[in-house]
Chain A
Amino acid sequence: MGTSRERTQTVQVKNSRQNQQQGEKLQPRLFSARRFSGFRPITAIAAVVLIAVLVIVVVIPVAYVFYGATRSGTIGDPQTHFSWEPLATLLSSTYLVSFAGTILIGLLVATFSVIFGGIFAWLLTRTDMPFKKFFEIVVIAPLLLSPFIGAIAWLTLAAPNSGMINVLAENLGIAGPIVDITQPAGTIFVMCLYFLPYAYLFTSASLKNMDPVYEEASYMAGKSVLRTVFTVTLPLVRPALVSSFFLIAILSLGVFSIPAVLGGRTGFQPVAVLVYRAVEANSNFALASAIGVGVVALALVGTILYRWALRSSNRFTTITARGFRPRQMRIGWLKVPALVASFGYLALAIVLPNIALVIISLTPYTQTDVTNLTFTLEHWQAILDNRYAMMAFGNTMVVGLIAPTITIAIALLVSYIVERTKWRIRRVVDFVAVIPVAIPGIVFATGFIWAYVTTPIYATIWILIFAFVGSYIPHATRVINASFVQIDPALEEAARVNGAGHARVLSRITAPLAMPAVLSGWILVFLLVIRDVNTAIMLYSPRATILPVVTWNFVADGDVRSAAVVGLIETIILILVVVLARIIFRVRLTSVVGREMK
């Protein structure tokens, strides 16, 4: 028996030698990169597919944003040539004012979000405030709601004349509109409601990961709780505060939906709205791309600052394996303002907007007497009978299933190549996979139009799917990466020495171990896709439209009631998916949005 085994061994050895030599010749040097050679075909196929997808959904569209910004004419014009003209247009006062205002709005939104998000994080992780578990969900729940629908709700609540709050005030004899959401301050307010959770998640993650031993050492040194907060806790979470500040500032640059809904056509127009107007009004895609290049330049500056802050936050974060429960500071009478703020946020971000949407979707006309409302289901019936809306519903479901699935599959491959192989191409893959962070969806979409207007995917749901995959690869990759960090590489190495190639290691070891993150990541991307209007608004076509676009079109036509109905349908889908994920896959809400922040 011993001898026969030896013989099989030598035969195996010989075969593998031959394979290597063949493999070495067949494989492109890019992959073998003087390190590993002898790919199995499936590994090579996966790598080629990954690169093809990244090129199609990221590299080409991004390149076309810059291409489009330097064209003398718009898409389809055969006479176009290279020109600085679209970019030069940006130097006119209209655009300069718009850029300055957008930056100001971004900085203000980031400031307020970080202050309030940071306070919530501290209250919910370090104090004895009541109902903490409940408020933890309240503070992150707005991430799952569509800011666009929130903006519609606030328009119905606080529009200067017809807004419910103003109508109610008038009935009570208070003169004039008491709130006006259509001012830039209104835009800042609604943006803050929806960006505050980002600041909260960054800061609370930092606080939760912070070993309380630092704070305890401060108490031992005789410092009071408040002095400890300012001399120890705050400096240690400062990187988290700074990085969330820049992230929020970048994200706010690309928000089209909130100012477009609230500001209308007359008020201040932030740059994201100008991109849309350039296309909507004049089909001037070159100008749209040029404005986009300006936004990308700003976002790049923000991204560099963000990554810089994030790196120092990783340096500061002291992750300990042991579970610990930080000392709960007794805040006494401060509980009262803390609770007022928490319930206030609950009311402003979640309760009031949804009540407003429900009321408006169920009432036939604007009614002044809130105590005696007339209800009707006619708007709901109309939407359910609207073939266009129902088609959009079907498309939304299809896009919502396909886009996250492709995105997560790509993210798994990206993370595996970047984190677990030594292929030279991994640095390129890593870089390409983060590019979309700095490209707001509405700008990214102009690149897709320039690149794919002549291809068969244009005007189908596939261009939407491609754009979503491209937009959300960075989010999914972050989620998967965070889970890879927690997988002991020895588990994969053990599979390698047991004879498994890369493909088998990924499918049998890494992916199953990362399954909780895969599910959370899928749901995160699903939520982002379902609520996205910034990308879809540029890429939809009559046959290939999705629910957020339908909502937008109702708003644009002044039919807020129908918009409210579609918006509520979207919200119901979002909630259903989160609840189903919790029941079927035991994926928690906190883990869906929390993982990305790691």
Chain B
Amino acid sequence: MTTIETINMAPEGATKSPAVEIRGLEVRYGAVVAVPELNLVVEEGDLVTLLGPSGCGKTTTLRCIAGLESPSGGEIRIHGDLVADGSWQMPPERRNVNMVFQTYAVWPHMSVLDNVAFGLRGQFPRSEVKDRAAEALKLVGLSGFEKRYGTELSGGQQQRVALARAVVTEPRVLLYDEPLSNLDAALREQMRFELRELHDRIGKTGIYVTHDQSESMVMSDKVVLMQDGRIVQEGRPRELYEEPRTAFAARFLGTANMWTGRVREQIGENSYVVELDNDALPCTVTCAGEARSRPGDRGTIAVRAERVTLADPGNPPSATAGTSSWQGRITRAAYLGSKYEYHVLVGDRSVRVEAPSRAVFEVDQDVLVHLSADAPVWIPGDAESR
């Protein structure tokens, strides 16, 4: 069961109701449970990312907030107003939220201006509709494109139209459903920062769904990692990366080596020597988080590939206390431009290592594998998967 964790970033958060509050959300399609029970609080002004593999329920959750999907149970509040519970749902057009869609959903039969102005018609006098739409287009850098049609725009431009259309109605919450996943890699990286900058300028509450971990890190104040319809861990991007609390979290964000093992002895308040399974390789771990274990407890060690260092056995660096040092042999070496990726065989264990491109080792070369005590993360518990 997921516990509710609120990371308050707004100091006055205690007195105001949060922008979005989800309690016990449950979504079922017949016998299939997409979201079993989900609790989430998004404070006003925050940009929160729902991150997870496909099918983890992140898009379903977002669509429930928008009103495009019907929860089977639980409740959703926006600015304190109930918008959905298990038996009743406010139609999406009444919620005053807006959404940027994965496929952009720029209406092909309308001009760019008509697309953006759609949500304003009937709400404001004609001239003001046009002024506001033009202002929104200026914000996204598409002034001069008013008369074009959706089909005459590039993917990136359509993305901007979708954004302008979403912000122009001044929604209480802006929802982003994998907005960059249809763009090619180069444009996607550029748009990340641009989107973040735009969002900061608008200053709205935002919920951003993605399966791309680096996108989630650029885009959000807080990352909510989901798996199988549950929240696995939430926190600032750095916390999630540095202190994954489950093997899944460690694996999903970045490249991690994962080894199961058993605590052999406790050598400091938060330091353990762990004996790895199969070859009983000893490994020293210093935990930064709240993980507590006793000798004999089982768990998983997660080590980021870039936190493993390699050294020439003929020229070993002076070992510091707590550093695990193993003999190994390079089995694969791949040059990736900014770095090298190695596979090192230690006993019968393959260790993935990312090293700066200036440190060059050859395949079949013997090396020393170093792990400083603060490099590995100790994840107590027997389960490999969670």
Q: Which DSSP category, helix, strand, loop or mixed, fits chain B's interface?
A: loop
Q: Per-residue 0/1 for A494-521: is the Cβ within 8 Å of any B Cβ (1 yes, 0 no)?
A: 1111111100000011001100000000
Partner pick for A497 among B89, B98, B107, B123, CB 8 A cutoff? B98
Contact A497 B99 (CB under 8 A): yes
Within 8 A of B (CB), among A8-46: 9, 12-13, 16-17, 19-20, 24, 34-38
Q: Is A340 an interface residue (CB 8 A)?
A: no
Contact A496 B109 (CB under 8 A): no
Q: How far is the CB of B270 from chain A (nearest CB, A)?
A: 47
Q: How far is the CB of B310 from chain A (nearest CB, A)?
A: 45
Query: Chain B residues with Cβ under 8 A from A20's Cβ?
Result: 90, 94
Partner pick for A36 among B81, B91, B97, B105, CB 8 A cutoff? B91
A496 to B68, CA, bound (A): 8
Contact B101 A13 (CB under 8 A): no
Q: Per-residue 0/1 for B138-172: is the Cβ within 8 Å of any A Cβ (1 yes, 0 no)?
A: 00000000000000000000000010011001111
Contact B93 A501 (CB under 8 A): yes
Contact A13 B67 (CB under 8 A): no
Partner pick for A490 among B103, B108, B169, CB 8 A cutoff? B103
Residue of B at shortest CB range from A17?
A: B81
Contact A35 B172 (CB under 8 A): no
Q: Is B193 an interface residue (CB 8 A)?
A: no
Query: Chain A residues with Cβ under 8 A from B108's Cβ?
Result: 513
Contact A37 B99 (CB under 8 A): no
A586 to B62, CA, bound (A): 41
Residue of B at shortest CB range from A35?
A: B70
Q: Is B66 an interface residue (CB 8 A)?
A: yes
Partner pick for A493 among B68, B87, B89, B169, CB 8 A cutoff? B68
Identify which of B89, B93, B96, B162 gathers the most chain A CB atoms within 10 Å of its CB: B93
In the A-B complex, the 4 residue pairs with the smallest Cβ-Cβ separation, listed nearest first, are A498-B119, A490-B105, A494-B105, A496-B92
Q: How far is the CB of B208 from chain A (nearest CB, A)?
A: 15
Known A499-B119, A509-B107: A13·B79 in contact at CB below 8 Å = yes
Query: Chain B residues with Cβ under 8 A from A325's Cβ?
Result: none
Q: How far is the CB of A47 from chain B (nearest CB, A)?
A: 14
Query: Chain B residues with Cβ under 8 A from A17's Cβ?
Result: 81
Known A38-B91, A513-B108: A497·B102 in contact at CB below 8 Å = no
Residue of A at shortest CB range from B118?
A: A498
Contact A491 B107 (CB under 8 A): yes
A493 to B106, CA, bound (A): 11
Known A498-B165, A500-B93: A488·B88 in contact at CB below 8 Å = no
Contact A5 B94 (CB under 8 A): no
Contact B99 A34 (CB under 8 A): no
Contact A36 B170 (CB under 8 A): no
A20 to B67, CA, bound (A): 14
Partner pick for A513 among B90, B95, B109, B162, CB 8 A cutoff? B109
Contact B70 A497 (CB under 8 A): no
Chain A interface (Cβ within 8 Å of chain B)?
5, 9, 12-13, 16-17, 19-20, 24, 34-38, 422, 488, 490-491, 493-501, 508-509, 512-513
Chain B interface (Cβ within 8 Å of chain A)?
66-68, 70, 79, 81, 87-99, 101-103, 105, 107-109, 118-119, 123, 162, 165-166, 169-172, 175
Q: How far is the CB of B101 from chain A (nearest CB, A)?
A: 4
Query: Chain B residues with Cβ under 8 A from A501's Cβ?
Result: 91, 93
Residue of B at shortest CB range from A34?
A: B87
A35 to B90, CA, bound (A): 9
Query: Chain B residues with Cβ under 8 A from A9's Cβ?
Result: 96, 170, 172
Known A13-B79, A37-B88: A499·B93 in contact at CB below 8 Å = yes
Contact A497 B97 (CB under 8 A): yes
14 sampled A-B residue pairs with Cβ under 8 A: A5-B170, A16-B90, A17-B81, A37-B88, A38-B94, A494-B162, A496-B67, A496-B93, A497-B98, A497-B99, A497-B175, A499-B169, A501-B91, A513-B109
Query: Chain B residues with Cβ under 8 A from A500's Cβ?
Result: 93, 118-119
Q: How far is the CB of B125 from chain A (nearest CB, A)?
A: 14
A12 to B122, CA, bound (A): 14
Query: Chain B residues with Cβ under 8 A from A35's Cβ?
Result: 70, 89
Residue of A at shortest CB range from B94?
A: A16
Contact B70 A422 (CB under 8 A): yes
Known A12-B96, A13-B96, A422-B70: A490·B101 in contact at CB below 8 Å = yes
Contact A13 B66 (CB under 8 A): no
Residue of A at shortest CB range from B95?
A: A497
Contact B89 A36 (CB under 8 A): yes
Known A9-B172, A13-B81, A422-B70: A34·B88 in contact at CB below 8 Å = yes
Q: How far is the CB of A321 from chain B (nearest CB, A)?
A: 13
Q: How far is the CB of A34 from chain B (nearest CB, A)?
A: 5
Identify which of A36, A490, A497, A501 gathers the most chain B CB atoms within 10 Å of its CB: A497
Q: How far is the CB of B159 from chain A (nearest CB, A)?
A: 13
Query: Chain A residues with Cβ under 8 A from B166's Cβ?
Result: 497
A375 to B96, CA, bound (A): 76
A19 to B170, CA, bound (A): 21
Partner pick for A491 among B88, B93, B105, B123, CB 8 A cutoff? B105
Query: Chain A residues with Cβ under 8 A from B97's Cβ?
Result: 497
Known A490-B101, A491-B107, A512-B109: A497·B88 in contact at CB below 8 Å = no
Query: Chain A residues with Cβ under 8 A from B70's Cβ?
Result: 35, 422
Query: Chain A residues with Cβ under 8 A from B123's Cβ?
Result: 499
Query: Chain A residues with Cβ under 8 A from B91's Cβ?
Result: 36-38, 496, 501
Q: How far is the CB of B165 from chain A (nearest CB, A)?
A: 7
Query: Chain B residues with Cβ under 8 A from A499's Cβ?
Result: 93, 96, 119, 123, 169
Contact B66 A497 (CB under 8 A): yes
A490 to B102, CA, bound (A): 8
Q: How far is the CB of A153 from chain B (nearest CB, A)?
A: 44
Query: Chain A residues with Cβ under 8 A from B66's Cβ?
Result: 493, 497
Known A9-B172, A34-B87: A493·B101 in contact at CB below 8 Å = yes
Q: How far is the CB of B171 from chain A (nearest CB, A)?
A: 8
Query: Chain A residues with Cβ under 8 A from B169's Cβ?
Result: 498-499
